[in-house]
Structure 1
């Protein structure tokens, strides 16, 4: 698989052009799901909708369901539910991280307060599971409840690992699988399940989704160093400043000739812009950024190989394009 970007300004909706009409229906269904007469909840819902998003997870539900003869009506509620769960986790994450920006817009907790954020996230979770229950398929409810459990465990593991210079690469990959990988993988699996795919086909799209999810998070962690606030939509190097040590740092802590200096900086628990620049120099010199890029490519290549197990899936070209977008994205 090529490591070169498909296009410098490629956007998610370009990747999803094959299902653009379906995504418009999903967007309308999300708006309908969030429609309410409760004034405050309506205001918060409008705020979340205006924040937008790439809608990668509901798109994956649709793409993974495109076996011959399957109609959108069989998967649209699941696609909406997956996106609402994603939205709920972001609202809660912003409270945990004391974040004030998300996708370039003020977070719910910044506009209102933490109480409103927590209750909004709870509402979104409840709404999503109502939609899943309405499918009449208990398996999809159980699988998504397991994903929410894993995501919660991943967030708790991340909090416990703040500024921990002894965490391992294995710890990191377990954490990002819980925080990001499982939901993306499950979006793919649920699409295939709702399409009536065989268990072998379901397993193949799940493995694809996990590879995409892991690569997506590694790329996101790299964007924390190389993106800019205008395009990333949140303060850059924010993770490092609050003590979240991602793959490049973990690599450098083991392999950099300046690992003792790096440990010293992290141990201060007071990482400002000057410290960030010094850390970036250490990581670059140690080849840690390139190492993270290589690991992201490895997971994407594994994801694309998994698609060989679903030869009848009509959207395989779009899924391969999405894989290229994830590993090369710049926002």
Structure 2
């Protein structure tokens, strides 16, 4: 379930979902090619390669307890962060903005992407299925260590539900225990502090841009990313 609706994979099956994904990727490449801007075309190709590498990295590190905060940040920088920076950098390039503005908007998108993913990972522990539109605890169920889980392992290195879960012990019960421990500790606040820091970095990137409605909208977007519940 995504956004409260069954996924294509669930409705039509994995093979058709992959083909639809291929079609949408090809369509996006066609639209980018229509710009006839080689820099943006190359940027899209590089981003697709980076995201693919990031997804492979996540898949190969599943159920691996030996992951650090830095490795987590590197992983999400190769997924959500590079995707958002593609959007902001490409928009600046296509609008023929000065190079300093292009770099500023690239940095904005990158930092906003990190913040967005950190909040998404927090909500997987403290949100509800109704708010998120998807099952909560899904990262742990798939063996993906996110920032809340990493902090939980740091706080309880031995007797830890995440450790027991990754050792295939009473999966659902340990997912519930991990979520409860995160909710009843300062881990949530620590993770939100990380997200807020990256949002502040994103807004700082905008300081080079003129103070107008567009810039203020981007600042409001950064504020929403931290406060969102879905």
- TM-score range with shorter-chain normalisation? over 0.9
Name the CA shift for 1:127/1:297 in 2 (closer, same or farther; >3 Å).
same
In structure 2, the residue matched to 1:80 is none
- 2:103 aligned to which of 186, 199, 203: 203
TM-score normalised to structure 1 length: 0.66
Structure 1 residue 273: deviation in Å? 3.4
- Residue 159 (structure 2) pairs with residue 261 (structure 1): yes
When structure 1 is superposed on structure 2, of 148-157 and 310-319 the one drifting more is: 310-319
Name the CA shift for 1:129/1:215 in 2 (closer, same or farther; >3 Å).
same
Q: State the 4+ residue runs in structure 1 displaced beyond 3 angstroms.
A: 270-273, 281-286
- Residue 220 (structure 2) pairs with residue 304 (structure 1): no
In structure 1, the residue matched to 2:89 is 189
- Residue 35 (structure 2) pairs with residue 152 (structure 1): no
When structure 1 is superposed on structure 2, of 258-267 and 203-212 the one drifting more is: 258-267
Secondary structure at the counterpart of residue 130 of structure 2:
helix
- Residue 219 (structure 2) pairs with residue 320 (structure 1): yes
CA distance in 2, matches of 1:300, 1:191: 20
Name the CA shift for 1:180/1:200 in 2 (closer, same or farther; >3 Å).
same
In structure 2, the residue matched to 1:108 is 8
Secondary structure at the counterpart of residue 261 of structure 1:
coil
> Residue deviations 1:155-177, cap 9 Å, x none?
01111111111111111001111
Secondary structure at the counterpart of residue 134 of structure 2:
coil
Name the CA shift for 1:126/1:231 in 2 (closer, same or farther; >3 Å).
same
> Residue deviations 1:294-320, cap 9 Å, x none?
100000001011100112664011001
For the aligned residue pairs, the C-alpha RMSD in angstroms reads 1.5
CA distance in 1, matches of 2:164, 2:152: 13
> Residue deviations 1:123-155, cap 9 Å, x none?
111111111111111111100111111110110
Residues 1-331 of structure 1 mapped to structure 2, 5 A cutoff: 101-254=1-154, 256=155, 258-262=156-160, 264-270=163-169, 272-284=171-183, 287-311=186-210, 314-331=213-230
CA distance in 2, matches of 1:312, 1:195: 17
Name the CA shift for 1:237/1:208 in 2 (closer, same or farther; >3 Å).
same
Name the CA shift for 1:133/1:270 in 2 (closer, same or farther; >3 Å).
farther
> Residue deviations 1:50-87, cap 9 Å, x none?
xxxxxxxxxxxxxxxxxxxxxxxxxxxxxxxxxxxxxx
Name the CA shift for 1:137/1:313 in 2 (closer, same or farther; >3 Å).
farther
CA distance in 2, matches of 1:141, 1:302: 27
TM-score normalised to structure 2 length: 0.94
> Residue deviations 1:188-214, cap 9 Å, x none?
011111110111100001111111100
Residue-pair matches, total? 229
CA distance in 2, matches of 1:128, 1:187: 12
State whether residues 84 and 109 of structure 2, in contact with CA within 8 Å, keep that contact through their aligned partners in structure 1. Answer: yes
In structure 2, the residue matched to 1:76 is none
Structure 1 residue 271: deviation in Å? 5.5
